[in-house]
C-alpha cells in the first residue's frame, strides 16, 4: 500500500512559531555560532503597516550586521514571505558611531560605558521604529551634541591661546581685579569712567530722565513749600536726614532750587523704599508719587518673586545695595560732587563699613575727619565725606582675612 500524508491545522499562528530566514549579502557565514543575534519588533500593534516591521542584528567581534524587512534596504518580495534580509553594515555602522560615539565620549565623564551603549541602542531603535517627531528630536540632539563638542574644542583652543599669550599669572591677576569689584559692580549706576567732567561720570539723566524729572514738578513744588515745623518733624522721625539737610540749604537760583526740591522728593522715596520688604502699587500714593516714577521704582529697584501663590515685588539685599549707590550718585549732583556718607548710611540703616564699600566701588575719594581728642570727640559729630574726583580712585581689595586673636 502506498504511503499517504495529510495536513493538520495546528491552530492560530503565533509570533513565537514564526521562523526567520536570513541571507548575508557578502556570502555565507563559516562560524554562525560566533554571532549574537537580536530580533526587534515594532511595539505599535494597532498600526497595520508597523506591526509587521522587524529588525535583526548580528554582532561579532569584528563586524556588525543589521537587516530589516522595511524601508529602502529591504527585499521587494511577496508580503506572504516571512524573510528578513541581513546586509553587511560595516560602513554604515562606522558612520553612525562617528555621530553617536564622539559626543558619548564627552558625556561618559558622568555616565558608565554600559549606559552609553544603552543610549546608542535606544538611538538605533528610534531611527528604525520611531515616529517622525522622535526622529526629528534625535537628529536635533545629535546636531547639538556635535555642535557642543565643536564649541568646546574652540573654547579650549582660544583659552590656550590667551594663556600662552598673556601668561597664567597675568590672567589670575585680571580675574582677581574683576572679582574685587564684588557684587556691587552689578548694581552701580551707569558710569563713564573716561568722562572729562565730574558731572558726566554718573550722568544725571541716567538717574532721572528728562521725562521723569518733569513728572516731579508738582511733588517738587510741595517740597519747596515745606515749613520749618515739618522739617523738624522729619528730623525727629529720622530716615530722611539727607533730605532735610538739602531742604534746609536750598540754592537761591531758581533752576537749581527747583532741581534740588525735585531730587529731594525722589531721594525720600528711595529712602522709604529701602526700608520695605516688598513694594505694592500703593507705594508713594500718600506722597503724591507720579505713576512714571512708581513704575521706575518697580523696574529698577525690585525683584519679582513667587510667594504664597502670587507674584511679589521684593526689595532684596542686592537691591538695597543698588538703592544705596543711586542715592549716593544723586547726592553727588546735589552737593557739587560731594556727599555726606555718615548721614546717608544712617538714612539707609546700613553700617558705615557697608556705605564706604559702596563709595569705594564707585571710585570716590573718601574724606575722613581728623581724630579729635577724647574730650573734644564728645562735643562734635564727625562725618565722613565722599567726593568724585578725576580720575576715579581704584581701590585695592584685601584678599587676606584678618587673623583672629587666640583665646588663652
Do the beta carbons of residue 397 and residue 404 sit within 8 Å?
no
The contacts of residue 342 (CB under 8 Å, 6+ apart) are 352, 381, 382, 383, 384
At 8, is the pLDDT very low, low, confident or very high (cuts 50, 70, 90)?
low
Please say if the pLDDT value at position 81 is more than 60: no
Judged by average pLDDT, the poorest of 73-77, 236-240, 247-251, 271-275 is: 73-77
- 402: Cβ contacts below 8 Å, ≥ 6 apart: none
User: Whole-angstrom Cα distance, residue 294 to residue 279?
Assistant: 10
Give the residue, 141 or 29, on which the prediction is more confident: 141
- Grid coordinates 510741595 are at which residue? 222
**DSSP code for 65:** E
pLDDT band per the 50, 70, 90 thresholds, residue 90: very low
Q: How confident is the model at residue 100 (pLDDT cuts 50, 70, 90)?
A: very low
Q: What is the pLDDT of residue 115?
A: 61
Give the chain's length: 408
Nearest to 398 by CA among 204, 180, 137: 180
DSSP string, 81-117: --B--BEE-HHHHHHHHHHHHHHHHHHTTTS-HHHHH
- What dihedral do alpha carbons 268, 274, 279, 282 form, nearest 10°? -20
Task: Give the integer Cα–Cα distance in Å for 387 and 143.
Answer: 56
pLDDT of residue 89: 38
Arithmetic mean of pLDDT, 216-220: 92
Q: Which helix (H) or strand (E) holds 147?
A: helix 132-166
* pLDDT score for 106: 35
pLDDT range class, residue 116, cuts 50, 70, 90: low
pLDDT in tens, 314-323: 898 889 999 9
Q: Which of 188, 187, 202 is nearest to 388 (CA)?
A: 202
Measured CA distances, 348 to 195, 338, 341, 345, 374 (Å): 29, 18, 10, 5, 28
* Structure confidence by residue, pLDDT tens digits, 363-392: 999 988 776 554 454 444 688 899 999 889
Q: Provide the 3-class DSSP secondary structure of residue 243.
A: helix
| Band (19; pLDDT cuts 50, 70, 90) | low
Residue 144 reports pLDDT greater than 90: no
Whether the bond between 255 and the residue before it is cis, its omega within 30 degrees of 0, is: no
Mean pLDDT of the residues in the chain:
76
Q: What is the pLDDT of residue 4?
A: 63
Please report how many Cα atoms fall inside a 13 Å half-sphere around the Cα of residue 239, on the Cβ side: 12
- Residue carrying the nine cell digits 573716561: 194
Query: What DSSP letter does each residue of 160-172 carry, written as one string?
Result: HHHHHHH-HHHHH
Give the Cα separation of 372 and 274 in Å (integer). 33
Residue 173's H or E segment, with its range, is helix 168-180
Banded pLDDT at 206 (limits 50, 70, 90): very high
Q: Looking at per-residue confidence, does 308 or 267 come out higher?
A: 267
Burial class (CB in 10 A: 0-12, 13-18, 19+), 55: buried
b (16+ CB within 10 A) / e for 326-352 = bbbbbbbbbbebbbbbbbbbbbbebee
Measured CA to CA in angstroms, residue 226 lies from 146, 176, 393 at distances of 69, 49, 38
> Does 91 have pLDDT greater than 50?
no
For 407, residues 6+ apart whose C-beta sits below 8 A from its C-beta are: none
Q: What is the mean pLDDT of residues 72-80?
A: 55
Amino acid at each position: 500500500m502506498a504511503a499517504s500524508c495529510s495536513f493538520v491545522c495546528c491552530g492560530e499562528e503565533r509570533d513565537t512559531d514564526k521562523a526567520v530566514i536570513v541571507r548575508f549579502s557578502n556570502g555565507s557565514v563559516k562560524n554562525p555560532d560566533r554571532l549574537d543575534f537580536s530580533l526587534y519588533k515594532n511595539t505599535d500593534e494597532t498600526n497595520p503597516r508597523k506591526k509587521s516591521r522587524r529588525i535583526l542584528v548580528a554582532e561579532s567581534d569584528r563586524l556588525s550586521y543589521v537587516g530589516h524587512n522595511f524601508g529602502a534596504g529591504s527585499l521587494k518580495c511577496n508580503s506572504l514571505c516571512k524573510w528578513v534580509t541581513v546586509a553587511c553594515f560595516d560602513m554604515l555602522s562606522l558612520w553612525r558611531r562617528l555621530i553617536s560615539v564622539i559626543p558619548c565620549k564627552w558625556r561618559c565623564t558622568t555616565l558608565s560605558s554600559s549606559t552609553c551603549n544603552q543610549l546608542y541602542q535606544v538611538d538605533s531603535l528610534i531611527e528604525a521604529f520611531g515616529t517622525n517627531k522622535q526622529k526629528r528630536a534625535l537628529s536635533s540632539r545629535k546636531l547639538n551634541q556635535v555642535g557642543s563638542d565643536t564649541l568646546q574644542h574652540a573654547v579650549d583652543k582660544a583659552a590656550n591661546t590667551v594663556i600662552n599669550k598673556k601668561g597664567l599669572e597675568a590672567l589670575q591677576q585680571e580675574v582677581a581685579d574683576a572679582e574685587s569689584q564684588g557684587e556691587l559692580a552689578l548694581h552701580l549706576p551707569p558710569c563713564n569712567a573716561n568722562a572729562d567732567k565730574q558731572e558726566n561720570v554718573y550722568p544725571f539723566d541716567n538717574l532721572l530722565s528728562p521725562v521723569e524729572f518733569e513728572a516731579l514738578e508738582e511733588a517738587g513744588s510741595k517740597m519747596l513749600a515745606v515749613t520749618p515745623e515739618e522739617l523738624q518733624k522729619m528730623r525727629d522721625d529720622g530716615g530722611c536726614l539727607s533730605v532735610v539737610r538739602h531742604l534746609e540749604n536750598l540754592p537761591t537760583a531758581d533752576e537749581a532750587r527747583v532741581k534740588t526740591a525735585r531730587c529731594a522728593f525722589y531721594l525720600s522715596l528711595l529712602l522709604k523704599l529701602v526700608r520695605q520688604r516688598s513694594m505694592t502699587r500703593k507705594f508713594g500714593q500718600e506722597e503724591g508719587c507720579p505713576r512714571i516714577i512708581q513704575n521706575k521704582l518697580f523696574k529698577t529697584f525690585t525683584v519679582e518673586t513667587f510667594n504664597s501663590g502670587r507674584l511679589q515685588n521684593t526689595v532684596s539685599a542686592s537691591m538695597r545695595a543698588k538703592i544705596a549707590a543711586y542715592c549716593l550718585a544723586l547726592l553727588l549732583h546735589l552737593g557739587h560732587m560731594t556727599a555726606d556718607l555718615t548721614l546717608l548710611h544712617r538714612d539707609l540703616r546700613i553700617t558705615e563699613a557697608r556705605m564706604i564699600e559702596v563709595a569705594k566701588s564707585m571710585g570716590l575719594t573718601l574724606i575722613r575727619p581728623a581724630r579729635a581728642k577724647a574730650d573734644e570727640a564728645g562735643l562734635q559729630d564727625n562725618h565722613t565725606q565722599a567726593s568724585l574726583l578725576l580720575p576715579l580712585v581704584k581701590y585695592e581689595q584685601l584678599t587676606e582675612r584678618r587673623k583672629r586673636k587666640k583665646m588663652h
